[in-house]
């Protein structure tokens, strides 16, 4: 078993052989020795800009800065807040204000899109292209840290079923042990090459980097435009490890893969939604010698389960079993441990459990509660809200969610956030957003609205208005216009009736 002792996250930079490749950038490749030097330099610059515990945000595409910041901020004793580069100004302004960020590093075009009041007065804004030049000019490097592994080191913002995105607080220990666990069950080694296609603002996007570097392997970050770009990059770099979400897997099974890309691939990993039986069959046919790892996780506890590749063909819809350092309990509605075949709530216990939601005691108390009495770990557990069942062999199966979260193309989307954006346009009087099952997306976003009495040509104006306010992955795939929306006995919008009408 790997060492269960957590260490400061920045020490991941010390793992690989000095001359081995660690990070493949567009114009050069950093060895682990160069990675260490660059992390130390960036950490020194950050420490000169903010005091311990301060939040520093990044809003940029994948590159040297965004890949090194998780380690450099950790070394400087700061808290990194990675912002999804697909978000638009309203969401970015919320995250900056909510986190109290004192520094925002981003691409020039993204920074230029922010308006007055979007950036807190106490937050400095720096073009990402100027960061390393400034760090080199100052020349203040920091050696590996000795921070307490329980210290907060990152806040990852994730959408909830209600309200605006909430920040999940992760410690050095959470992220270090997550990297150890994933590297262990995937069997990552120093000669592995991971193509990092998932956004670095996601928990598993971070894991692409951290678990690979824990194993001493190499990461190739890629922001792709077309699915064929992924296949070509796999061939060009001899990629051995590829993580994706179901909608991307669907697209990847529809493109031609070079033989070199298939030959070098050792493992495929899936998260952000369940694989269908058909998709498992397609991937197994395309990559017959490659190990396929279906996984389940939530930002509040990083990863929770994985399905052993040996079980995939016979149990393609299973979530598998608990990963290393995770204890997964299925709790029945009466609070007892569910029997095999009985449905219950998935409760995650152990050291991967996050520290709660940033500055949100109410929502923290709802989700982060004492572990059930039968837990071996005890302490605080994440009560996921996901309904699952465990079979006689101990394999877990997903049943459904208790809340109204929409999972589309691997993104967790708050219905209320979409509804609020629609109502804010003044074009609609009522709005309900729902996820409708979709073969390619997991769920398509359907918006049901009643037009405002004073609105002029709302059917044309609303899509244009939402394009300005919401990121692309939150855009409704269909808008349904109604003269009236059904109400339940309490006089509230009857979401159940609307969902039944749409087949949601």
Cβ atoms of 76 and 47 within 8 Å: the answer is yes
- CATH number of the CATH domain containing 281: 3.40.50.12780
Record the tokens describing residue 186, joined without a space: 């995937």
**127 and 153 share a domain?**
yes
Residue 366 has pLDDT above 90, yes or no: yes
Nearest to 395 by CA among 301, 303, 294, 285: 294
Q: What is the 3-state secondary structure (H, E, C) of 236-288?
A: HHCCCEEEECHHHHHHHCCCCCCHHHHHHCCEEEECCCCCCHHHHHHHHHHCC
Number of CB atoms found within 10 A of residue 53's CB: 11
- What is the model's pLDDT at position 454? 87
In a domain, 4, yes or no: yes
How confident is the model over 53-67, as pLDDT tens digits?
999 999 999 999 999
Three-state DSSP at 105 gives strand
User: Quick one: 83 and 124 in the same domain?
Assistant: yes
CATH number of the domain within which 91 lies = 3.40.50.980
- Strand-strand pairing, 442-451 and 368-370: unpaired
**Side-chain half-sphere CA neighbours of 331 within 13 A:** 23
pLDDT of residue 205: 92
How far is the C-alpha of 136 from the C-alpha of 134, rounded, in Å? Answer: 5
pTM listed for this prediction: 0.87
Same domain, 307 and 453: no
The parent domain of residue 477 ranges over 407-502
Query: Which residues neighbour 483 within 8 Å (Cβ) at sequence distance 6 or greater?
Result: 450
Question: Tokens 């913002």 map to which residue?
Answer: 157
* CATH code of the domain containing 428: 3.30.300.30
Percent of the chain surpassing pLDDT 90:
80
For residues 152 and 453, the model is more confident at 152
| 297 and 393 fall within a common domain | yes
161 has pLDDT over 60 = no
Question: Which residue, 368, 403, 438, sits at the end of a domain?
Answer: 403
- Whether the predicted pLDDT of 159 surpasses 80: no
- 26-39 burial: b if 16+ Cβ within 10 Å, else e: eeeebbbebbbebb
495's tokens: 């979401």
> 412 and 391: one domain?
no
Question: Where does a domain end: 126, 159, 192?
Answer: 159
Residue 188 covered by a domain: no
Same-domain pairing of 390 and 421: no
Residue 176 located in a structural domain: no
Q: Residues 436, 396: one domain?
A: no
Reported confidence tier of residue 302, pLDDT bands at 50, 70, 90 = confident
DSSP assignment string, 19-88: TSEEEE-SS-EEEHHHHHHHHHHHHHHHHTTS-TT-EEEEE--SSHHHHHHHHHHHHTT-EEEE--TT--
Asked if the structure places residue 170 within a domain, the reply is: no
pLDDT bin (cut points 50, 70, 90) of residue 277 is confident
Q: What b/e string do you get for 248-262 counting C-beta neighbours within 10 Å, with b at 16 or more?
A: bbbbbbeeebeeebb
Do 413 and 337 belong to one domain?
no
Same domain, 449 and 338: no
170-173: long-range contacts, CB 8 A cutoff, minimum separation 24: 170/203, 170/302, 170/354, 170/355, 171/354, 171/355, 172/6, 172/7, 172/8, 172/9, 172/74, 172/147, 172/148, 173/6, 173/149, 173/351
Mean pLDDT score across all residues of the chain:
93
How many whole angstroms separate alpha carbon 10 and alpha carbon 24? 19
The pLDDT confidence band at residue 488, using thresholds 50, 70 and 90, is low
What percentage of the chain carries pLDDT values higher than 70? 97
198 in Cβ contact with 244 (< 8 Å):
yes
Mean pLDDT of 127-155: 97
Residues 117 and 243 in one domain: no
| 430 lies in some domain | yes
Provide the 10 A C-beta neighbour count for residue 16: 23
On whether both 265 and 305 belong to a single domain, the answer is yes
pLDDT in tens, 309-334: 999 999 998 999 999 999 999 999 99
Please check whether residue 211 lies inside any domain of the structure. Answer: no
Is the confidence at residue 493, as pLDDT, over 80?
A: no
pLDDT at 162 over 70: no
Q: Is a pLDDT exceeding 90 seen at residue 496? A: no
**pLDDT confidence of residue 275:** 84
Considering 363, 380, 403, which residue would you say is the last residue of a domain?
A: 403
Q: Is the pLDDT reported for residue 458 higher than 70? A: yes
Whether residue 125 is contained in a domain is answered as: yes
Instruction: Spell 66-101 as b/e; 16+ CB within 10 A means b.
Output: bbbbbbbbbbbbbbbbbbbbebbebbbbbbbebbbb
Q: Mean per-residue pLDDT for 247-260?
A: 91
Residue 362 has pLDDT above 80, yes or no: yes
* Run of H or E including 450: strand 442-451
Are residues 17 and 95 part of one domain? yes
Residue 165 domain flag: no
* pLDDT of res. 398: 87
pLDDT at 80 over 60: yes
Count of domains in the chain? Answer: 3
Q: At 365, which helix (H) or strand (E)?
A: helix 361-367
Residue pair 256/228 in contact (Cβ under 8 Å)? The answer is yes
pLDDT for position 208:
95
């Amino acid at each position: 078993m790997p060492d269960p002792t957590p260490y400061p996250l920045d020490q991941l930079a010390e793992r690989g052989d000095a001359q081995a490749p660690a990070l493949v950038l567009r114009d050069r490749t950093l060895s682990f020795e160069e990675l260490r030097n660059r992390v130390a330099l960036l950490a020194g610059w950050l420490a000169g800009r903010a005091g311990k515990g301060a939040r520093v945000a990044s809003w940029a595409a994948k590159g040297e800065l965004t890949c090194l910041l998780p380690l450099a901020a950790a070394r400087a004793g700061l808290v990194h807040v990675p912002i999804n580069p697909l978000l638009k100004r309203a969401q970015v302004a919320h995250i900056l204000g909510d986190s109290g960020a004192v520094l925002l590093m981003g691409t020039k075009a993204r920074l230029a899109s922010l308006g007055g009041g979007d950036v807190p007065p106490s937050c400095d804004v720096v073009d990402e292209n100027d960061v390393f030049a400034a760090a080199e000019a100052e020349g203040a490097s920091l050696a590996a840290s000795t921070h307490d592994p329980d210290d907060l080191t990152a806040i990852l913002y994730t959408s909830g079923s209600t309200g605006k995105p909430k920040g999940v607080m992760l410690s050095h220990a959470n992220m270090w042990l997550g990297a150890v666990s994933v590297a262990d069950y995937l069997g990552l080694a120093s000669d592995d090459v991971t193509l990092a296609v998932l956004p670095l603002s996601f928990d598993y996007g971070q894991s692409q980097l951290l678990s690979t570097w824990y194993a001493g392997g190499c990461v190739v970050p890629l922001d792709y435009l077309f699915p064929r770009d992924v296949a070509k990059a796999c061939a060009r770099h001899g990629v051995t490890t590829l993580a994706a979400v179901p909608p991307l897997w669907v697209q990847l099974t529809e493109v031609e893969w070079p033989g070199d890309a298939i030959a070098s691939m050792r493992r495929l990993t899936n998260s952000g939604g369940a694989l269908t039986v058909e998709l498992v069959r397609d991937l197994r046919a395309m990559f017959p010698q490659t190990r396929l790892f279906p996984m389940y996780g939530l930002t509040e506890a990083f990863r929770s389960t994985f399905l052993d590749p040996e079980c995939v063909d016979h149990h393609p819809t299973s979530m598998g079993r608990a990963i290393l350092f995770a204890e997964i309990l299925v709790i029945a509605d009466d609070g007892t441990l569910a029997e095999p075949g009985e449905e219950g709530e998935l409760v995650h216990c152990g050291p991967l459990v996050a520290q709660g939601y940033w500055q949100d005691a109410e929502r923290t108390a709802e989700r982060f509660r004492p572990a059930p009495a039968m837990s071996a770990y005890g302490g605080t557990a994440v009560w996921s809200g996901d309904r699952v069942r465990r079979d006689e062999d101990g394999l877990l199966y997903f049943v459904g969610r208790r809340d109204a979260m929409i999972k589309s193309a691997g993104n967790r989307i708050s219905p209320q956030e979409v509804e609020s954006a629609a109502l804010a346009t003044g074009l609609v009087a009522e709005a309900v957003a729902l996820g409708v099952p979709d073969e390619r997306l997991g769920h398509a976003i359907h918006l049901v609205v009643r037009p405002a009495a004073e609105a002029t040509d709302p059917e044309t104006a609303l899509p244009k208005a939402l394009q300005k306010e919401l990121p692309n992955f939150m855009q409704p795939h269909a808008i349904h216009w109604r003269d009236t929306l059904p109400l339940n006995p309490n006089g509230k919008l009857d979401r159940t009736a609307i969902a039944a009408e749409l087949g949601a």
